[in-house]
């Protein structure tokens, strides 16, 4: 439930309410301090427990009102935090201003190849470098990444270009290692409901990019985000990357309506991965621009210097020249739809 304090409440009154809630075995959190202080209690409670707690708190000095959360994803809900969450990664921000672009190869294949791609996407205007060091593949015989060697290559490419790194982590045990090299930890679609992994990244100080599962609902995505938030990490980025449907002509089906819907339900920033959504590089630009027009806070795009020779997802990877052309179009669409001026980005 949400406890609304009076606009002129004293700090001592807030402290007394927090103490009373803790005495009842709860872990209250201050959601906001401006324009008014708002306190949240996120634990699941039956109706009798809620009513008993209301009776204790409602008559305390400074308490103006008590409301239910109204959603099972409490910390991710707009009811918990009215204003949009803005995530700062170095000099880059996600959730404020023009959309950011996260670009790079599906998998880190070599040091030289990665640095070439990193420099090219940086020159084209990308804000982040992506690349997989650990790759979950459908076939155990496919290329599954360079592991820690790949992480070292990503860190070097980041130093040379200044681009923060986004890369996937597959297991709870690998979180400390990946966090040592990466600026943003990615939870892939296959791991969206790996709750032990979600809790592990929730205990880090790294932003987390959480991809929607292959057949997950929007509610299930938000509940997975809740696992991370509940462990104390507020830096969660939601990623729509297409879901499986009966349509075989694209790799997945992009749920473009998920972008405005997630922004309506949650305060967390939303990015879109058009590469995995369509699986065909010639379709990526149109879908990417549609995502920007729908209000996405960012895009995650696979780029390769020689896609036909890529060891992973070459069919959906854009060439360096095509990516540069797309970046120009993204700026125009973002400016037209949202009034953003992106030339200085």
pLDDT at 69 over 90: no
Whether the pLDDT of residue 221 is over 80: the answer is yes
In this predicted structure, what is the pLDDT of residue 196?
Answer: 97
Which three-class secondary structure state does DSSP give residue 269?
A: coil
pLDDT of 218 higher than 50: yes
CA-based end-to-end distance of the chain: 40
For residue 34, pLDDT beyond 90: no
pLDDT category, 158, cuts 50, 70, 90? Answer: very high
Residue 339: the pLDDT is 66
Return the pLDDT at 281.
Answer: 97
pLDDT above 60: residue 342: no
- Model confidence band, residue 47 (pLDDT cutoffs 50, 70, 90): confident
pLDDT of residue 40: 84
Contacts of 19 (CB under 8 A, 6+ apart): none
CA dihedral angle for residue 282, residue 102, residue 179, residue 94, rounded to 10 degrees:
-140
141 pLDDT band, cuts 50/70/90, is: low
Contact criterion met (CB below 8 Å) for 102 and 130: yes
Q: With bands split at pLDDT 50, 70 and 90, how would you rate the model's confidence at 113? A: very high
Which pLDDT does position 344 carry in this prediction?
41
Burial of 302 (0-12, 13-18, 19+ CB in 10 A): buried
Task: Please determine, for residue 345, whether its predicted confidence score (pLDDT) is greater than 80.
Answer: no
pLDDT, mean of residues 188-206: 97
Can you list the domains of the chain with their CATH numbers? 2-67 (3.30.70), 87-338 (3.20.20.70)
165-168 vs 128-130, strand pairing mode: parallel
328 pLDDT more than 90: yes
pLDDT at 142 over 90: no
Q: How far apart are CA 243 and CA 218, in angstroms?
A: 11
> What's the pLDDT band for 202 if we cut at 50, 70, 90?
very high
Among 49-63, 288-302, 320-334, the range scoring the smallest mean pLDDT is 49-63
341 pLDDT more than 50: no
pLDDT of residue 325 exceeding 50, the answer is: yes
Rounded Cα distance between 214 and 175, Å, is 23
Position 260 scores a pLDDT of 96
Closest by CA position to 180, among listed 158, 212, 211, 210: 158
Please compute Rg for the chain using Cα positions.
Answer: 22
**Comparison of pLDDT for 111 and 45, the residue scoring more:** 111
Q: Which residue has the higher pLDDT, 318 or 28?
A: 318
Residue 176 clears pLDDT 90, i.e. is over it? yes
Q: What is the pLDDT of residue 140?
A: 80
Average pLDDT for residues 279-301, to the nearest whole number? Answer: 97
pLDDT of residue 145: 78
Handedness of CA 287, 338, 186, 148 (dihedral sign): positive
Place of tokens 């995505």: 221
- In DSSP terms, which residues pair with 32 in a beta bridge? 38
The average confidence (pLDDT) of the chain is 92
Contact 109, 311 (CB under 8 A): yes
Residue 238 near residue 212 (C-beta atoms within 8 A):
yes
Per-residue confidence (pLDDT) for residue 42, from 0 to 100: 79
The pLDDT score that the predictor gives to residue 174 is: 96
Query: Is it the case that residue 343 has pLDDT exceeding 60?
Result: no
């Amino acid at each position: 439930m949400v406890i609304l304090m009076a606009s002129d409440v004293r700090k001592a009154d807030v402290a007394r309410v927090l103490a009373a809630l803790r005495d009842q075995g709860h872990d209250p959190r201050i959601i906001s301090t401006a324009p008014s202080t708002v306190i949240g209690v996120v634990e699941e409670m039956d109706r009798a427990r809620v009513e008993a707690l209301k009776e204790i708190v409602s008559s305390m000095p400074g308490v103006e009102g008590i409301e239910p959360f109204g959603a099972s994803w409490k910390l991710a809900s707009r009811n918990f935090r009215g204003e949009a969450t803005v995530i700062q990664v170095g000099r880059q921000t996600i959730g404020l201003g023009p959309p950011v672009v996260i670009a790079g190869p599906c998998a880190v294949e070599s040091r030289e190849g990665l640095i070439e791609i990193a420099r090219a996407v940086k020159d084209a205007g990308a804000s982040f470098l992506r690349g997989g060091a650990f790759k979950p593949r459908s076939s155990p015989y496919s290329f599954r990444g360079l592991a820690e060697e790949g992480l070292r290559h990503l860190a070097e490419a980041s130093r040379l270009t200044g681009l923060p790194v986004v890369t996937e982590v597959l297991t709870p045990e690998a979180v400390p290692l990946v966090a040592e090299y990466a600026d943003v930890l990615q939870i892939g679609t296959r791991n969206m409901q790996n709750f032990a992994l979600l809790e592990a990244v929730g205990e880090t100080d790294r932003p987390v990019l959480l991809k929607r599962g292959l057949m997950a609902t929007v509610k299930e995505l938000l509940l997975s985000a809740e696992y991370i938030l509940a462990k104390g990490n507020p830096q969660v980025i939601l990623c729509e990357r297409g879901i499986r449907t009966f349509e075989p002509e694209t790799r997945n089906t992009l749920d473009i309506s998920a972008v405005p819907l997630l922004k309506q339900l949650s305060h967390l920033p939303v990015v879109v991965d058009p590469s995995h959504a369509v699986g065909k590089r010639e379709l990526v630009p149109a879908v990417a621009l549609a995502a920007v027009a729908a209000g996405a806070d960012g895009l995650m795009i696979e780029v390769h210097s020689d896609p036909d020779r890529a060891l992973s997802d070459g069919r959906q990877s854009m060439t360096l020249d095509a990516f540069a052309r797309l970046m120009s179009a993204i700026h125009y669409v973002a400016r037209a739809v949202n009034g953003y001026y992106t030339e200085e980005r």
